[in-house]
Amino acid sequence: MTRALIVHRAGPGVTVQDPGRPGYLAYGLSRGGAADRLALAEGAALLGQSDALAVLEMAGIGGEFEVTEATRIALTGAPMRASVDGTRIAWNACHRLEAGARLSIGAAGTGNYGYLHLGGGVALPRRLGGCGTHLSAGLGAPLKAADRLEIRPDTGSRTGMAVAADDRFGGGTVRIVASLQTDLFAAGERARFEATTFRRDARGNRMGVRLDPDGPGFESEAGLSVLSEVIVPGDIQITGDGTPFVLLNECQTIGGYPRIGSVLPADLPKVVQARAGETLRFSFVSLEEAVAIEARARDARKSLRKRLTPLIRDPATIADLLSYQLVSGVTAGDDLERSER
Amino acid sequence: MPDLDDMTWPQIRHAGYDGFVVTFGTRLSEPANRAALAFRDAIDHAGIDAVEESSTSLVSAYVRFDPLQRDHAAMRATLETLVQQHDWFAVGLPSGRRLWRVPTVFGGDAAPQLAEAASVAGLSERDAIASIAETQVRVQTIGFAPGMPYLGELPPAWDIPRQTELTARVPAGGLCVAIRQLVLFPVDTPTGWRHVGQTALRLFRPDAPEPFLLRPGDEVLFDPVSPEELDRVRDDANGGATCEDIA
């Protein structure tokens, strides 16, 4: 029988996600995919596998899971309280989950979206080039109790590693570039936008999040007469009443509200992981700076695998201490290489 | 604010971190839409390095690329060269387009806002139906929702505003009108456009070999049928619509 993940309980926003479905913009389908792309890279690094494999995205709260055969797992994104048969396990780390053991993932302590990665990845048929759930397009649906997801064969073996996760939880300053319609906002409005502190509104989902300014809303000089233009994830649209929305992976593909700027892909996780009530600020950077920032972010993602560290455990909490290899370095010395293959 | 009307067309502007938009006008016009479709077709056939995706909106072509492979200046230069190659307003439409004939019930219970829309347009119901049915409209763009076409251009009488109040629910396949355009909805949708016709089209079929029924640039004729005739084609994969290639 194929290895599978069994869902015993799932929060309301647990979905299968992958890097999304680029290529259908001309047909009105936004790319969708994991809300926090960096989490995909972190999980892939921990398990030594491709970041294109499908994972479980958990909005706000996880669920209870079981595997039919021992499976490597990794946990990334918004840190959630996770345990196996009642014993707490580390977040931003990879573990071996034994067949039949109960993996419980609770509420996020900070941030919004947590991720459960499986060695080999979730096996779902690809539809339109991806297997992620795209809620606004009606592709797939949130997981529910008794769902069973097959898992592809795992070629790796390493567990017990931790990744130094980039702290993108809790809001902060987000870098943006000018875009198509930025000039429709007077210099004074743009400066005020940068000087404003926004609170992430409770209204938000995978399509976009609403931001509440600490002052009046923002006005463009074009009013509502702007012709509909292409929308890309990260665009900050200003609706008729002056309220900004950051549009995310499941956004509509064209729209008529003017956009004051666009969030850099590298900083989008900070927006999606900010919780309702947390503060965000925006800072314009030039295209040249943006390219340099994205190049650094790409290099950081690529070097994640090299920067993994062994999970440090408190010996007092290890039940069968004597069964562990306690002298470091006494291995064949090719563990890393073996698990990378 | 820049006075876009004083600019020469097309305009090349960057869109977000990793895109450029080439725009052929400030307002929707038949020539600007045609130019945008033709220019996107040229981008797709030019084999430009680092290009990842392209699309059109009403009067613009969009290209997404990887700035880490090809910087913005180089991409802009490539697009400028392409812009110079033709008078894009005079270039013909791309090949591979199709003409669809779509059975449509106008008015009645199936499309209850025909009378109101006709009245706002200053037409009798009979003339309103004839005006829409006789106009071969083009898919100007597909967007907002998967597979959802914006079609035009209708005669000037149809330059009617959207409603201020939303219609709570227009069923999938609903044909709605405003500002000399028609839209068709892939799923049940609340809308400010007036619901004047009903088709049995399924515009987005994720598991079909061709998931999207219509392509940008396709042309459509809405043929009036009775509610009984529409019922007979509801189970048809294409909602009774037929299509032929436009030579």
Q: Where are the domains of chain B?
A: 4-84, 98-245
Closest approach of A180 to chain B, Cα-based (Å)? 5
The CA distance from B30 to B17, in Å, is 30
pLDDT band, very low/low/confident/very high, at A226 (cuts 50, 70, 90): confident
SS3 label, residue B46 = helix
Asked if B144's CB is within 8 angstroms of A254's CB, the reply is: yes
pLDDT band, very low/low/confident/very high, at A239 (cuts 50, 70, 90): confident
Q: Which of A25, A127, A221 is facing B206, going by the closest CB pair? A: A127
CA atoms lying within 13 Å on the CB side of residue A113: 28
Residue range B98-245 in CATH 2.60.120.380: no
Asked if B187's CB is within 8 angstroms of A138's CB, the reply is: yes
Q: What is the DSSP string of A112-176?
A: SEEEEEETT-EE---BTTB-S-BGGGTBS----TT-EEEEPPP-----SEE-------S-EEEEE
Write out chain B residues lying below 8 Å of A136, CB-based.
145
Closest approach of B207 to chain A, Cα-based (Å)? 7
Asked if B143's CB is within 8 angstroms of A252's CB, the reply is: yes
Task: Outline which parts of chain A fall under CATH 2.40.100.10.
Answer: 172-299
Closest CA relative to residue A193, chosen from A256, A242, A234, A229: A242
The CA distance from B2 to A220, in Å, is 12
Q: Which of A22, A137, A253 is facing B143, going by the closest CB pair? A: A253
ipTM of the complex: 0.92
Q: Which helix (DSSP H) or strand (DSSP E) does residue A309 occupy? A: strand A309-310
What are the distances in angstroms from CA B175 to CA A92, A147, B181, B206, B240?
Answer: 50, 38, 10, 21, 15
Size of interface A-B (CB pairs under 8 A): 128
B145, closest residue in chain A (CA to CA) = A28
> Is pLDDT larger for residue A331 or for residue A87?
A87
> Is pLDDT larger for residue A187 or for residue B144?
A187
Q: What are the tens digits of pLDDT across the range B209-236?
A: 999 999 999 999 999 999 999 999 999 9
What are the distances in angstroms from CA B143 to CA A16, A52, A300, B123, B215?
Answer: 25, 26, 35, 29, 11
Closest approach of B110 to chain A, Cα-based (Å)? 24
**For an interface test with B, which of A229, A231, A247, A286 has the most B Cβ atoms less than 10 Å from its Cβ?**
A229
Asked if A128's CB is within 8 angstroms of B206's CB, the reply is: yes
Give the fold, CATH level 3, of A172-299. Cyclophilin (2.40.100)
B243 pLDDT higher than 70 = yes
Q: What are the tens digits of pLDDT across the range A94-149?
A: 999 999 999 999 999 999 999 999 999 999 999 999 999 999 899 999 999 999 99
pLDDT at residue number A315: 57
- Tell me the CATH architecture of domain B4-84: 2-Layer Sandwich (3.30)
Total residue count of chain A as it appears in this document:
341
pLDDT band, very low/low/confident/very high, at B50 (cuts 50, 70, 90): very high
Q: Which of A137, A227, A294 is facing B17, going by the closest CB pair? A: A294
B9 pLDDT higher than 90 = no
Asked if B21's CB is within 8 angstroms of A230's CB, the reply is: yes
Mean pLDDT of chain A: 91
Is some CB atom of chain B closer than 8 A to the CB atom of A141? no
Give the residues across from B194 on adjacent strands: B177
Asked if A228's CB is within 8 angstroms of B17's CB, the reply is: no
